[in-house]
Amino acid sequence: MSDQSRPMSAVIHELKNPILAIERLAKLVLEKETLSDNARRKLKLIHGSAREASGYLQELDLSSDPVVPDSFSSDPVDLRLLGRWVTERFQTHAEYKNQQLQFAATDDPCVVMGDAVRLREAMNNLISNALKYSPKGETVSVEVTRSEETVRFSVADNGPGLSEQEQKRLFRPFERLGPTPTGDEESSGLGLYIVKEIMDRHDGAVTVDSTREVGSTFTLALSAASPSALAGDKSPRPSRALPSQSDRGALNKD
């Protein structure tokens, strides 16, 4: 397996969120915006193509071993910037279900050493799950904090919560637990398994605090980067995982 190759099951899982975002955004614009006949026709084609692609993904076999590759980079990553950007990318999902998706971050340094693409993938899965299982109209809160030498990325929801027995099975591959999606989403049972694999490779941890009928908070915990690790590297923002310069300016307006 090359450094860039991924198991098919993991790739299919990660493709679902951007394709679903295209489908939902197209539907929202069709329902809420005034469009010319030509623009509406084109947008209907985009919406239909996204729905078709989602259908194909659901038909594919996900039974192959979703092993996360061993080839991880170790660069400075600012979890505040990365977390804000990932949260912004899910606003369409939240709007579609009339949910509020909020982001907050500490003013303390939140740079860790890791693979920005994989950390983004872990964040994607936690936010996606929170929106997927939360009732329509509820709030999902994303927060980046620092306590001593640990940086944490947390996602809290007011969803159905998990029993103690369900929590013990959370991070196994292909596990589908009691709660079901509250919209038209699908669940492969791979998301949290991939999150744990990513955190294990970073010597970090993923934890859950959940109560039935109250909600859940999932947290990624990573060691803060030491001054020696950051010496000589002034850019804790790997370009392959973060937005373009123009996107960053938009995201920093808060």
In a domain, 70, yes or no: no
Whether residue 193 sits in one domain with residue 93: yes
Structure confidence by residue, pLDDT tens digits, 163-220: 888 888 888 776 666 567 776 666 666 788 889 999 999 999 999 999 988 999 999 9
Q: What pLDDT, on a 0 to 100 scale, did the predictor assign at position 204?
A: 96
Query: Looking at residue 140, which CATH number applies to its domain?
Result: 3.30.565.10
Whether residue 195 sits in one domain with residue 171: yes
Whether residue 225 sits in one domain with residue 127: yes
- Pairing label, strands 100-105, 139-147: parallel
Distances from the Cα of 180 to the Cα of 26, 56, 132, 242, angstroms: 25, 21, 8, 31
Mean pLDDT of the chain: 80
Q: What pLDDT, on a 0 to 100 scale, did the predictor assign at position 179?
A: 67
Residues in a beta bridge with 211: 215
CA distance 114 to 202: 6
Whether residue 141 sits in one domain with residue 25: no
The structural domain count of the chain equals: 2
Structure confidence by residue, pLDDT tens digits, 49-85: 888 777 766 655 555 555 566 678 889 999 999 999 9
pTM of the predicted structure, to 2 decimals: 0.72
Containing domain of residue 150, as a range? 75-251
Helix runs in the chain, H state only: 8-32, 37-59, 79-89, 91-96, 116-133, 164-168, 191-201, 227-230, 245-251
Whether residue 85 sits in one domain with residue 21: no
CA distance 23 to 48: 8
| Tokens found for residue 59 | 């038909």
- Residues of the chain with pLDDT > 90, as a percent, come to 37
Whether residue 43 sits in one domain with residue 169: no
In a domain, 45, yes or no: yes
